[in-house]
Structure formats: C-alpha cells, structure tokens
Amino acid sequence: MLENDFDISKLTSFKIGGKIKKVYLPETVDEFIEILEKEPDAKVLGNLSNTLVSSFGYDGTVIITTKMQNVCVEDTKITAECGIKGPKLSKIALGNGLSGFEFMIGFPGSLGGNIFMNASANNQCISDKLCSVKCFDGLNIKDYSKDEMEFSYRHSICSEKRMIVLSAVFELEKIDRSIIEEKMNDILTFRKTHQPSLALPNCGSVFKNPENNSAGRLLESIGAKNMQQGGVHVWENHANFIINEGSGTSLDVLMLMYKMSGAVEQKYGIKLMPEVRFLGGNNKDEVELCGKLGIK
C-alpha cells in the first residue's frame, strides 16, 4: 500500500508532523523486502512512539511496519514480526502463561523499535528473553543471535549499521498466569503515576539516563517542570516528558529540548543525550538544533 503526500501527524504519538512525500505500509515480510529493494534509501519506522516528525514534512520515502503483526507461539517460544505493538505481544504471552513480556504492557512502541533500542522497564528488557533476530541489511536477510546484536542500554547493533528488524524469536518462562497478570497490573499502576498516558500527546522519555544518574532528577533540579515553548510544555509530574498541548510544532519541541539540556549542562556539566529520534530536514533551524542536541 502506497500513500503520497501522507499526513503523518495522525499516526505519531506526539500528534505532530507534516506531509511525507511517499509512505508505504507493507503487510508481509516479502512485501516489505520488495519495497526496500525498490526504495533502498527509505526510512523505516514502527509505531512512531519515540519519533518526532518535522511539522515541515519530509521529502523522502518512509516505510511503516505496523501492519506486519504475525505471531507464532510454540510451547515456550514466541516468534513475532516487527510491527506488533508491545501491549498486544504482552497479552499474547499472558494468554499462553508465558513470562518475560510483562514490562511491555504499557509500551506504545512496536517490536522492531523495541529491539532497535533495546527497550526496557521495571527490571526487564527486550533482550532478556531474546534468542535471535531476523534482519535485512540491504542485501541479505540474516538471523542474528542475541550476542551478535550487541545489546546495551538503549542500544543494539541496528543503531550502528543499517539493519532492519523483520522478526524475532524469544524463549519465555512458563509460570502461573495469575502471577504474570499481577506483575502486569503493578506495571500499569506504576506507569499511570510516573508517565503520561497517550491521551496527553507525547513521545515517551525525551532524554536517556546518564550513567549512574537520572535524566528526570537532573531536569527537575533545574526547574524543567516550569518550562514551556510555543504549544508544548514539560509534564508537571515528571521532568523528562514533553506534552503537546494541541498546537505544538516540531520546532517547539526541539527548542524546548535545547533549553532543558542546556540548563542541565550549565549546572552539572552533563550533556543529556536524546532518546527521541527525528525525521525531517526541510527547516534549517530544526537541522541546526538537532546537531546541537545530538539527535540522529
């Protein structure tokens, strides 16, 4: 499925973004590979939950994987395609009495994105139960072991090389469903008090935690909760989240991020690294701010 001049804002969790020149929405791995071979420079995106898309649009091609959601459960193994959302996968695991995906019950992101950044929460991360990942490197489809993926905090080998996650295999643990369900309920309760719901348009944590430190605590200490820019503001309950009030633009977000990180660096000498990714390039002010912030 191909869409031209596609308004991306309705798909982003930030509810921000202009028109994308070409957007593909493949439904199968074969279709996905066919598009990638035809459009080798295309940007591949998942559920757009940690991506800030420029309000000035993007003149390239984007492939969105959210229609690729096949899942196969065999005993304690789960094989899943890149487009499935974390909460859905978490519930499938619960339904089969399998533990290891509880932490994804509140994640808005897709599996591909979660693997790309080695997503984690509540003392669990996506790489814990992972066996292998099927990736496309632009030429070949190859299976990578957990060790070959080079996982670390918010990092995988996909961050360094152009490797597109297609699917992954996990080995989970069989335990009583009531224990899994209790864990999931505890996580949802925790997230309600520590992270904004998507009813408040946001894209999750803005900055990564520095080593042995907390981005949220550093930002709170410099008064970030009182900061705002145009149509966006820092969430009053946690200083590492930015909320779109409805009229916010991508430039508003980047300018606010620059204020936040600048204040932390001035006080502590610590440069916060963005967790948010950016898609754009049509506005020189945005490009300059992304360079200063270190956004890829």
Strand order of the β-sheet with 242-244 is 228-229, 232-234, 242-244
Confidence of residue 162 (pLDDT cuts 50, 70, 90): confident
Q: What is the pLDDT of residues 208-224, one digit of tens each?
A: 999 999 999 999 999 99
Q: What is the pLDDT of residues 54-108, one digit of tens each?
A: 999 999 999 999 999 999 999 999 999 999 999 999 999 999 999 999 999 988 7
pLDDT recorded at residue 79: 98
Q: What is the pTM of this model?
A: 0.88
pLDDT recorded at residue 202: 94
Would you name the residues annotated as active-site residues?
154, 205, 275
Confidence of residue 26 (pLDDT cuts 50, 70, 90): very high
Mean pLDDT (whole number) for 9-26: 95
Q: In whole angstroms, what separates CA 1 from the centre of its chain?
A: 23
In eight-state DSSP terms, residue 158 is G
DSSP run (H or E) holding 233: strand 232-234
pLDDT recorded at residue 122: 74
- Cα–Cα dist 14/249, whole Å: 10
- Cα–Cα dist 202/52, whole Å: 9
Residue 291 has pLDDT above 90, yes or no: yes
Q: In whole angstroms, what separates CA 270 from the centre of its chain?
A: 24
Residues, the chain, total?
Answer: 296
Spell out the domains of the chain, with CATH numbers in brackets: 2-64 (3.30.43.10), 71-194 (3.30.465.10), 215-293 (3.90.78.10)
Residue 286 has pLDDT above 90, yes or no: yes
Q: What is the pLDDT of residues 170-197, one digit of tens each?
A: 999 999 999 999 999 999 998 888 888 8
The 10 Å Cβ neighbour count of residue 3 is 16
pLDDT recorded at residue 119: 86
Contact 260, 240 (CB under 8 A): no
Which of the listed ranges 139-153, 154-168, 220-234 does the model predict with the highest average pLDDT?
220-234
Rounded (to 5) percent helix, strand, coil in the chain: 35, 25, 40
Residue 199 has pLDDT above 90, yes or no: no
pLDDT recorded at residue 82: 95
Higher pLDDT pick, 113 / 79: 79
Residue whose structure tokens are 């990714």: 277
Confidence of residue 127 (pLDDT cuts 50, 70, 90): very high
Confidence of residue 47 (pLDDT cuts 50, 70, 90): confident
DSSP run (H or E) holding 170: strand 164-171
pLDDT recorded at residue 159: 80
